[in-house]
Amino acid sequence: MVTAEFLRSLAADVAAGRPVELSFDDFPCFAAKALEGRAHVTPAALAEISAGLTPADACVFERAAKAIDEGDLAWIGFKYVYDASAACENVDNEVTKKYGDVGSGCGDSFVFFCNDAKEIVCGREHSPRDIFQMKDATRGPAMHAEQFDGLTWLAVALFDKVRVWLLGASDASAEVAALAHHVGFDVVAVDYDPAYISEERFPNARRVLLGGGNFDELSRIAANPSDYACVLTRGHMFDPEACVWSIRNNLHYIGMMGCKGKNDTVHDLVLSKGGTEEGWERIKRPIGLKFGAKTPAELAIAIVAELVDERYKQNYSEAARAKHDSNLGR
């Protein structure tokens, strides 16, 4: 993730009119992999935006640095114009909310800041339509990035991804890893068997291979209280060890797959291995939202849906969630 120190240095260079070159490491939304399927933007767009920065843009990087210092839910976003005439001339149609008689406020690409409170910082001319689309960056982005002709929108988060520990390399775990990565979690998969915790099965996860043919070495690994854990060991063989580790690390969310009869057995084993009754009650059993999922792929949808819901509740206040649900008619 981009650092506050780097952003302040960048702001100073931009304010002084010194040339800067933004990198894919700091702004990965422009990397080739992130742009797969986006017809109107290529990695070369980042160089174009770098070359077009002016002292007016320094305020964006300064505000972004402050947001990182404060632990704010915030984003640096980019408006990328590939057809200036179309960007300025397109108008709202009968379906969309009306944002005035003009499209984009200018035919230039630019950088902007937005946070979850919908604060916008932008040093360039922009229209009401632009403001609507800049605020849309808070969706991660963005539901409406490709809505209007001539321009598109990209963004990078200024906060860390939530880390999810997949304890066990079962088939369900492999399916969860793919979906969890796709919706923006930092995924770590753990198992003792290299045949199961392979790169082929977990291509987008950090893989931790335990020694000894069991989960005993799991106790040597540290996790953060803000992390999530999904207990998905193959055949439930090492669910007790995974639960005890999750409880001892006081993880924010712990979920375990399994039926009531198996869970009663795991309960007794968890307590015998040093877990507490209070910790056991914190474990979501069974893991995942309930909608009839049976296969590993279906179970992964149920599990990741629950992870998304938990992340949403963790990141947003009750008042913000109520407003969001009201806007959606829920």
In the structure, what pLDDT confidence band is assigned to residue 78 with cuts at 50, 70 and 90?
Answer: very high
Mean pLDDT of 212-223: 96
Say what the pLDDT of residue 329 is. 67
Range scoring the smallest mean pLDDT among 30-44, 104-118, 258-272: 258-272
Is 12 in a helix, a strand, or coil?
helix
Say what the pLDDT of residue 243 is. 97
Query: CA 82 to CA 235: how far, in whole Å?
Result: 52
Say what the pLDDT of residue 164 is. 98
Q: What share of the chain is helix, strand, coil (3-state, %, to 5)?
A: 40, 15, 45
199: which 2 tokens? 């790169």
Say what the pLDDT of residue 227 is. 98
In the structure, what pLDDT confidence band is assigned to residue 330 with cuts at 50, 70 and 90?
Answer: low
Characterize the bridge pairing of strands 120-121 and 110-115.
Answer: antiparallel
Angle, CA 271 vertex, CA 269 and CA 276 arms, to 5°: 145
In the structure, what pLDDT confidence band is assigned to residue 208 with cuts at 50, 70 and 90?
Answer: very high
Domains of the chain in start order, with CATH, are 4-157 (no CATH), 163-315 (3.40.50.720)
In the structure, what pLDDT confidence band is assigned to residue 102 with cuts at 50, 70 and 90?
Answer: confident
Query: CA 108 to CA 49: how far, in whole Å?
Result: 9
Is pLDDT at 45 greater than 90 in this prediction? yes
Contact status, residue 222 vs residue 248, Cβ threshold 8 Å = no
Mean pLDDT of 241-254: 97
* Conformation bin of residue 150: beta by default, left when phi > 0, alpha when psi is -120 to 50: left
Q: What is the mean pLDDT of the chain?
A: 92
Count the Cβ atoms, other than its own, within 10 Å of residue 278.
Answer: 8
Q: Which residue has the tokens 């998905």?
A: 232
